[in-house]
Amino acid sequence: MSAPKIAIIVGTRPEIIKMAPLVRACAERDVPYLLLHTGQHYSYEMDGVFFEELGLPVPHANLSVGSGTQAYQVGAIVTGITPIYEREKPDWVLVEGDTNSVLAAGLAAHKLGLKVGHVEAGLRSYDRTMPEEINRLVTDQFSDHLYAPTEKSRGILRGEGVTDDRIFVTGNTVVDELYLQRPRAEARGALERFGVSPKRYALATVHRAENTDHEGRLRSIVAGLSQAAAATGLEVLAAVHPRTTQRMEKLGLAWGDHVRALPPLPYLDFLGLHAQAALTMSDSGGLQEEACCLGVPCVTLRDNTERPESVDVGANVLVGADTDRIVSGAKAMLGKSGGWANPFGDGRAAHHILDALLSA
């Protein structure tokens, strides 16, 4: 029998990074694939540069949906990707994570009777005010294969009534990419270019709507990062999402002393900085995983996390948006040795996923 044809869907920066190992695994194993891009991120800095850095092929199609309301993005993706599915006739559609691209591309495939595999299935924050939570809940319900990164994720899916024949524990593909790209990232000399020394700085990001769109939370986080820098003696490098910059300008907010704002960074530059940071402070889900794998203590600027494994092994602490908790969390985590076990897989998640799919 010939290998099935796989459509690999990406739409945002994290999806490009986390699906890159699957693109390479398909190429290595002569599995026919399509790389389809929804274009949910539309700037070169947030999108195109990642294809170039990671050596990925030009997508077979790019819907270029750009920004807009959730309803617009979901509708535009379903409308744009359905005729591509009908023309190309993939046997499987693989989506990753919890974005509008995941929900829309997966739903369109399911409606056409195509098999859907959800990479990074079974993650839960148990906060249904988060759009991401709804996206992953719904996608897990209609997917034929659920590729859970950890045993904890498998347990969550079982508890929701998903049968064992649909669940495969594979690890997380972010580990695959991190292991592959870390030597390249550290060879680029990002520390020298940004004028920092190993373990003498913290790396921060703030991008989630729950923080950027809530004035009180954003003000508290900005103050917390500055005060944490003063309390720890670390310079904070804040790689700022465009949405965060726009909100801060609108509110008349400025970063305080010891916080240096950076533009959105290419993946390899960011990874090079992340690998040698003393501390990570972020509201990103993916960076909680990455910090855990790199041995960098993480302070998560959220009230909940869908990556509890990082908290369980002592790599991560939740502090919300409270200024005092941000400072105390930074001081407490700075003393961590980084010797915890990595709970997110062996760096071969993409091949484990293909093994499961090809044996279906």
Q: What is the pLDDT along the chain (360 residues), one digit of tens a residue?
A: 678 999 999 999 899 999 999 999 999 999 999 999 998 866 555 566 888 899 999 999 999 998 889 999 999 999 999 999 999 999 999 999 999 999 999 999 999 999 999 999 999 999 999 999 999 999 999 999 999 999 999 999 999 999 999 999 999 999 999 999 999 999 999 999 999 999 999 999 999 889 999 999 999 999 999 999 999 999 999 998 888 889 999 999 999 889 999 988 889 999 999 999 999 999 999 999 999 999 999 999 999 999 999 999 999 999 999 999 999 999 999 989 889 999 999 999 999 999 999 999
Report if residue 179 sits inside a domain: no
Residue 53 belongs to some domain of the structure: yes
The answer to whether residues 308 and 349 belong to one domain is no
> What is the structure's pLDDT at 6?
98
- What is the set of active-site residues? 207
d(CA 80, CA 261): 37
Distance CA 264, CA 180 (A): 22
Q: What is the pLDDT of residue 221?
A: 97
339 in a domain, yes or no?
no
Same domain, 137 and 193: no
Sheet with 115-119, strands from edge to edge, namely: 61-62, 33-37, 6-10, 92-96, 115-119, 145-148, 167-169
Q: What's the mean pLDDT when you consider all of the chain?
A: 94
Residue 306 lies in a domain: yes
Q: Is residue 352 part of a domain?
A: yes
Shared-domain flag, residues 308 and 350: no
Backbone phi, then psi, for 99, in 5-degree steps?
-90, 175
Q: Tell me, yes or no, whether 241 lies in a domain.
A: yes
Q: Is residue 122 part of a domain?
A: yes
pLDDT of 242: 82
Instruction: Give the pLDDT of residue 338.
Output: 87
88-105 pLDDT, tens digit each: 999 999 999 999 999 999
The predicted structure's pLDDT at residue 31: 97
| 214 and 283 in a common domain | yes
Between CA 178 and CA 340 the distance in angstroms is 17
Q: What is the pLDDT of residue 40?
A: 80
Please tell me the distance from the alpha carbon of residue 356 to that of residue 283, in angstroms, as a whole number. Answer: 32
Residues 11, 160, single domain; the answer is: yes
pLDDT at position 46 is 55
Query: In this predicted structure, what is the pLDDT of residue 3?
Result: 86
The total of structural domains in the chain comes to 2
Structure token digits, residue 319 = 């502090």
Q: Which helix (H) or strand (E) holds 279?
A: strand 279-282
Residue 323 · residue 224 · CB < 8 Å: yes
DSSP state of 40: S
Both 46 and 10 in one domain: the answer is yes
240 lies in the same domain as 330: yes
Could you tell me if 160 and 194 lie in one domain?
no
Are 189 and 307 found together in one domain?
yes
129 and 193 share one domain: no
Q: Which long-range contacts (CB under 8 A, 24 or more apart) does 221-224 make?
A: 221/301, 221/321, 221/323, 221/326, 222/248, 222/253, 222/255, 222/256, 223/256, 223/323, 224/301, 224/319, 224/321, 224/322, 224/323, 224/324, 224/325, 224/326, 224/327
Query: Which DSSP symbol is given to 32?
Result: -
State the residue range of the domain holding 159. Answer: 6-172+345-358
Question: 217, 179 in Cβ contact below 8 A?
Answer: no
**Please, which residues have CB within 8 angstroms of residue 65's CB and are 6 or more apart in sequence?**
11, 38, 39, 40, 72, 73, 76, 77, 80
221 lies in a domain?
Answer: yes
Residue 330 maps to which CATH number? Answer: 3.40.50.2000
pLDDT of residue 50: 83
Task: Looking at the structure, tell me whether residues 272 and 141 fall in a common domain.
Answer: no
Q: Say whether both 136 and 201 belong to one domain.
A: no
